[in-house]
Amino acid sequence: MSDAMVAAPASDAQSGGTQRVDVAVVGAGFAGLYLLHHLRKAGFTVVALEEGNDVGGTWHWNRYPGARCDIQTIDYSYSFDPELERAWTWSEKYATQPEILRYLGFVADRYELRRDIRFGTKVKTATWDEATLRWVLTTDSGASVSCRYYIMATGCLSAPKPPEIDGVKEFKGEVYFTGRWPHQEVKFAGKRVAVIGTGSSGIQSIPLIAEQAVHLTVFQRTPNFALPAHNGPVPADRKTLLDNDRAGYREQARWSLAGVPYPQQTTVSWQLNDAERRERFEQAWAIGDLVYILSQLWADQGSDVDGNALVAELIREKIRAIVKDPDTAAALSPHDHPFGAKRPCLDTNYYATYNRPNVTLVNLRQEPIKAITASGVTTDKRSFDLDVIVFATGFDAMTGAMIAVHPITGRAGKALSSVWADGPQTYLGLTVAGFPNLFMITGPGSPSVLSNMTVSIEQHVDWVVDRLIAMREAGFTTIEATETAQAGWARHMADCSMLTLHRLANTWYTGANVPGKALGVMPYTGGVGPYRSICNEVVSRGMLGFKLTGPNVAGQCNDGEIVRLQPDVRLVLNMMADMKLPPIETLGAQGARYFINEFNKARPAGRPVGEVVDSTLPGNDGLLPYRLYRPATPGPHPIVVYFHGGGWVLGDQQSDDPFCRDLCRRTGMIFVSIGYRHAPEHRFPAAAEDGYAATRWIGEHAAELGGMSGYVLVGGWSAGANLAAVTCQLTRDRGGPHIAGQLLVCPVTDCAFDRPSYNDNGTAYFLTRGLMYWFWDLYCSPADRTDPRVSPLRGKLGGLPPAFVVTCEFDPLRDEGIAYADALAKAGVPVEQLQARGHFHSSFTMVDVVRTGASGRAKMAEALRRFAGMPKQAEQSDEVTHRDWGVSPPQFNAAAK
Ligand SMILES: Cc1cc2nc3c(=O)[nH]c(=O)nc-3n(C[C@H](O)[C@H](O)[C@H](O)COP(=O)(O)OP(=O)(O)OC[C@H]3O[C@@H](n4cnc5c(N)ncnc54)[C@H](O)[C@@H]3O)c2cc1C
């Protein structure tokens, strides 16, 4: 029987009884309205509870002058109903608050939503009742609510943050908060006004207040990046795209990174010269679109501090050009965070406003506010007499409105506030272990505020309602995330946070704007499309990570972690799976070589090094090509003899180019990549003997190559790591040269194929078991395979140079790499191991594709420098932490480490 049958009449809601419904929705903004519509359509009884006296949420409360959206309005709209889209036309590129509020009112009327919304009703507490398996919500007016499912659509930016300044109550003038703006017009004419705070709301309102006020004083603690909105009619190019294929446009948005359909930029900053970068920047500046400038300049701007610094400086240059007073321009120029790590703002005349004679900027970094007094604001240095103070101090974002319902009591009497004391823990940003049948829309751990929120809201609502329908059909009445799934999500969140620069700024994204709040990147940084695919995968894998129960059905719990791969590895593997490539071993050696060459052409160019020299050296049987990478620093440098991967069959001295460049830059060493001979034309031991011959020749000619004499280092990846390991054994046994250290990345070390990783990772991670068999067959006949020159694990290991051995969790070669490292250690060789969680065989050589491999490459470089007796290197740009930005580091949630 549906709970609808026992729903209380509306009168109960008025009289203080208990209203029974299937679902209670809290909030009537974009999320609450769509939920209500969708749930009703699906046949659930629903009540929505809203503190405000009408619909709109954000757009009901934020009525300050200049309030607008900062995602173009044609994108910042519902897309669930094409009829609705046809029925509404936006008047501007970025609609004003009144127009967005009208739109949400129009939606509420169109679907007759208001009849199921209790306005002026604040939810105070929520308690899970184990006996009835229902939530009980108490409110500040009218009936409490008993519901099977409790959905918090309470908003990410709906709990204004109180100002942290003494004396606000003493002030005798008018006080306004941008997030709780009065419904009647506020008049500033003839008044001395202060705006405290320069986030989005401050930046939007300051130019308009300055036009009216006799004097405006802006108190700024942290400058923010702002870009001109260039508002006006909806841009023709975007509108044409939408009109020509509305469904396609919306679908593209759903699978994009930020919820707006822009392509992924592939050109990296170092492929462009200054003039080309400036041209791209000027074009973006003229377009006036946040998502465009954040995603379309160059591929590394959002992920690499060096690529980001180029944009940041171009923006600071604009600020200096607009603001006439150099001191004011300097104070307005952000230096403490990467561009985009804190939400940038779209403005209209913001910087130019500081050229007005009636506007003063007070830099609180230089003169902090001491107190608010009856007559105004006093800083360390001055007093300001004021008639009006506007607080644009932002929100207790993401968690504030949820925690304000207090307590939310889940299983065993546990309160959400205590479960989240060290930071929010969720599964998918939708659910929390221990809180059955509770859902959050755009909760912490979902893309939410890093996306076009209408797209994220629709995805969440659709996912939740579809689950409730599926549960009803299957006879389940409770759903709850497991601890395993939730801990896995925290790990995945932490992995994703390495893909962007958000971790490097103290912002409301990390909770740093609220004193005492636990710190950590709260929104999901992996992107809207990847997130959507993960949510879909949870369903397709039998509600992975959820426990489902029902009165008349067997319970179901398919426990586990939804993403164990590093986020970028997952993307690469999915992309390859979508390409439906034939197995490489079916292409023949020539075909496979052609395929790998073409594949390599599509990867980002390696970063610049001091010099690249192509030449030849004598091998065991004729000349071998090599490519030498020299650092930009003055030499002589230690030399690393490098052997590329490719199963002794594929690749050449250039095929690991980005990896060699990266390690050359990180180590400050010369890398010489050897074009050794390949099978099947040259079978075992040709490659091994070439490796030895090349190393000996380089050792003898180190000085001519600009290197340090007396020793070399060796390194390699995959079959190349096999050659590096073999070379160490041969040089030990054949009288040199002296090898100071060996770097073995995912090495082939043995001819046995029965270790578990050959099975666990044998088919799904690009390097397959079948491909390895093929490589072995082409290179080495079975009779030769136990020879240490191809199976170094079977050789004598004592007296070998110190080793750094890297293995990847999802690699068939994982266990033989670990076995080799363990055997070296047992033989007394100094060994360090890096067992890389979530990585696959190609992770570390796919530089600038698998960005989560950066920290591993930094460790490899450190090891090589240690082997060569060089001092520890300063942190590389992709290893930068908060210290470099002059702000204290957020501590990430313990579980997310
Ligand atoms: C000034 C401003 C501009 C923005 N511009 C953009 C933009 O351009 N693009 C974008 O993607 N996002 C933007 N955002 C983010 C914006 O919050 C979301 O886009 C969207 O409006 C969120 O909708 P929602 O329904 O999830 O939450 P909200 O709109 O915040 O609605 C939540 C509702 O829940 C109610 N509520 C909360 N707690 C309780 C309780 N205990 N009891 C009863 N009711 C409760 C609140 O009163 C509120 O009405 C902006 C935010 C602000 C503040």
Q: Is 208:325 a contact under the CB 8 Å cutoff?
A: no
Residues 742-776: b if buried by 16+ CB within 10 A, e if exposed: bbbbbbbbbbeeebebbebbbeebbbbeebbebbb
pLDDT for 163: 83
CA 661 from centroid of its chain's CA atoms:
25
Among 30, 58, 452, residue to substitute to test ligand 1 (most atoms within 8 Å of Cβ): 58
3-state helix, strand, coil in the chain (%, to 5): 40, 20, 45
157 alpha carbon to ligand 1 midpoint, in Å?
Answer: 5
Closest approach atom of ligand 1 to CA 57: 49
Give per-residue pLDDT as tens, 302-354. Answer: 999 999 999 999 999 999 999 999 999 999 999 999 999 999 999 999 999 99
The residue contributing the CA closest to ligand 1 atom 4 is 69
457 CA: nearest ligand 1 atom: 26
How far away, in angstroms, is 70 Cα from ligand 1 center? 14
Is the model's pLDDT at 300 over the cut of 50? yes
The atom number, within ligand 1, closest to the CA of 62 reads: 1
Give the distance (Å) from ligand 1 centre to CA of residue 32.
10
Give the Å distance between the CA of 890 and the centre of ligand 1. 26
Task: State pLDDT tens for residues 378-410.
Answer: 999 999 999 999 999 999 999 999 999 999 999
Residues in the chain, overall count: 897
If you measure from the C-alpha of residue 390 to the centroid of ligand 1, how many angstroms do you get, rounded to a whole number?
20
Cα–Cα distance for residue pair 348/207, rounded to 1 Å:
7
Q: What is the mean pLDDT of the chain?
A: 94
Average pLDDT of 805-834? 98
Spatial separation of the C-alpha atoms in residues 459 and 360, rounded to whole Å? 44
Given a contact cutoff of 8 angstroms between Cβ atoms, the answer to whether 61 and 179 are in contact is yes
Give the whole-number percent of the chain exceeding pLDDT 70. 96
Average pLDDT over residues 167-175: 93
How far, in Å, from the CA of 463 to the mean position of ligand 1? 20
Is-cis flag, bond preceding 801, omega within 30?
Answer: no
Contact between 820 and 792 (Cβ < 8 Å): yes
Residue 503 has pLDDT above 80, yes or no: yes
- Nearest alpha carbon, ligand 1 atom 9: 71
CA of 60 to the centre of ligand 1 (A): 9
Mean pLDDT of 635-650: 98
Tell me the CA–centroid distance for residue 124 and ligand 1, in Å.
18
What residue type is assigned to position 379 of the chain?
Answer: T
Ligand 1 atom at minimum distance from 452 CA? 11
**Atom number in ligand 1 closest to CA 157:** 17
* 522 Cα to the center of ligand 1, angstroms: 17
Task: Tell how far the Cα of 57 is from the centroid of ligand 1, in angstroms.
Answer: 5
Beta strands in 707-817 (DSSP E): 712-717, 739-745, 803-810
pLDDT at residue 879, as a whole number = 57
At 697 the pLDDT is 98
Tell whether the model's pLDDT for residue 2 goes beyond 80.
no
Q: Which two tokens stand for residue 301?
A: 């701007």
**Nearest atom of ligand 1 to the alpha carbon of 67:** 1
Contact indicator for 48, 35 with CB cutoff of 8 Å: yes
Hey, what are 230's tokens? 């260039």
State the distance from the centre of ligand 1 to the C-alpha of 38, rounded, in angstroms.
Answer: 19
The backbone torsions φ and ψ at residue 113, rounded to the nearest 5 degrees and listed phi first, read -85, -30
Query: How many helices and strands, by DSSP H and E, does the chain display?
Result: 27, 29
Compute, in angstroms, the gap from residue 840 CA to the centroid of ligand 1: 40
Confidence of residue 897 (pLDDT cuts 50, 70, 90): very low
Give the pLDDT mean for 281-291: 97
- Identify which of 124, 128, 131 has the alpha carbon closest to the alpha carbon of residue 149: 128
Single pTM value for the model: 0.94
693 alpha carbon to ligand 1 midpoint, in Å? 68
User: Which residue's CA is the nearest one to ligand 1's atom 13?
Assistant: 69
CA distance 43 to 3: 10
The total of other beta-carbon atoms located within 10 Å of residue 423's CB is 23
Q: How many CA atoms lie within 13 A of 489 on its CB side?
A: 30
Between 11 and 736, the more confident residue is 736
What stretch of H or E contains 756? helix 756-760
Torsion from C-alpha of 362, 367, 368, 374, nearest 10 degrees: -70
182 C-alpha to ligand 1 centroid (Å): 17
Given this model, what pLDDT does residue 895 score? Answer: 33
Output the pLDDT for position 233: 96
Question: Can you give the pLDDT at residue 115?
Answer: 97
Work out the number of other CB atoms within 10 angstroms of the CB of residue 16.
11
Q: What does the pLDDT look like over 738-775, one tens digit per residue?
A: 999 999 999 999 999 999 999 999 999 999 999 999 99
Tell which atom from ligand 1 comes closest to the C-alpha of 178.
Answer: 1
Q: Which residue's CA lies nearest to atom 19 of ligand 1?
A: 453
Residue whose Cα lies nearest atom 22 of ligand 1: it is 155
Q: Indicate which atom in ligand 1 lies nearest the CA of residue 139.
A: 42
Amino acid identity at 613: V
Atom of ligand 1 nearest to the CA of 204: 1
Residue type, 772: M
Cβ atoms within 10 Å, residue 279: 12
Q: Measured from the CA of 402, which atom of ligand 1 is nearest? A: 38
Out of 71, 200, 289, 453, mutate this one to test ligand 1's pocket (max ligand atoms within 8 Å of CB): namely 453
Q: What is the DSSP secondary structure assignment for residue 135, as one 8-state letter? A: E
Counting Cβ atoms within 10 Å, is residue 275 exposed (0-12), middle (13-18) or buried (19+)? exposed
Atom 14 in ligand 1: residue holding the nearest Cα: 69
In the predicted model, is pLDDT for residue 883 greater than 50? no
605: pLDDT strictly greater than 90: no
The pLDDT of 504-512, averaged and rounded, is 92
Query: What is the atom index within ligand 1 of the atom nearest the CA of 442?
Result: 26
pLDDT at position 743 is: 98
Q: Whose CA is nearest to atom 35 of ligand 1?
A: 27
* For ligand 1, atom 30: residue with the closest CA: 155
* Strand ranges in 285-419 using DSSP code E only, listed in sequence order: 345-347, 359-363, 369-372, 376-379, 383-385, 388-391, 408-409
How far apart are the CA of 61 and the centre of ligand 1, in A? 9
Output the residue whose Cα is nearest ligand 1's atom 38: 154
Residue 631 structure tokens: 């650092």
Sign of the C-alpha dihedral computed for residues 4, 481, 501 and 839 taken in this order: negative
Closest atom of ligand 1 relative to the 201 alpha carbon: 1
CA–centroid distance, residue 72 to ligand 1 (Å): 17
Residue 16 has pLDDT above 70, yes or no: no
Distance of alpha carbon 260 from alpha carbon 887, whole angstroms = 31
Residue 90: pLDDT band (50, 70, 90) is very high
The CA 461 to ligand 1 mean position distance, Å, reads 15
| Ligand 1 centroid – CA 846 distance (Å) | 40
Q: Which residues line ligand 1 (CB under 6 A)?
A: 26-32, 49-52, 57-58, 60, 62, 67, 69-71, 76, 122-123, 153-158, 200-201, 401, 404-405, 441-442, 452-453, 457
d(Cα 467, Cα 460) in Å, to the nearest integer?
Answer: 11
Q: What is the DSSP letter of 217?
A: E
Q: Which ligand 1 atom minimizes the distance to the CA of 69?
A: 8
Does the pLDDT of residue 291 top 80, yes or no? yes
The yes-or-no verdict on residue 884 having pLDDT over 90 is no
Which ligand 1 atom is the nearest neighbour of the CA of 71?
A: 8
Q: Tokens 């707006």 appear where?
A: 260
What residues form DSSP beta bridges with 743? 715, 804
Give residue 52 CA to ligand 1 midpoint distance, Å: 12
Locate 226 and state its tokens: 């702002």
Q: Determine the residue of 158, 405, 455, 457 to mutate for testing ligand 1's pocket, defined as the one with the most ligand atoms within 8 A of the Cβ atom.
A: 158
Which region among 157-171, 215-229, 551-565, 673-687 has the lowest average model confidence (pLDDT)? Answer: 157-171
**pLDDT confidence band for 878 (50 / 70 / 90):** low
Please give the structure tokens belonging to residue 79: 């897309």
CB 93 within 8 A of CB 234: yes
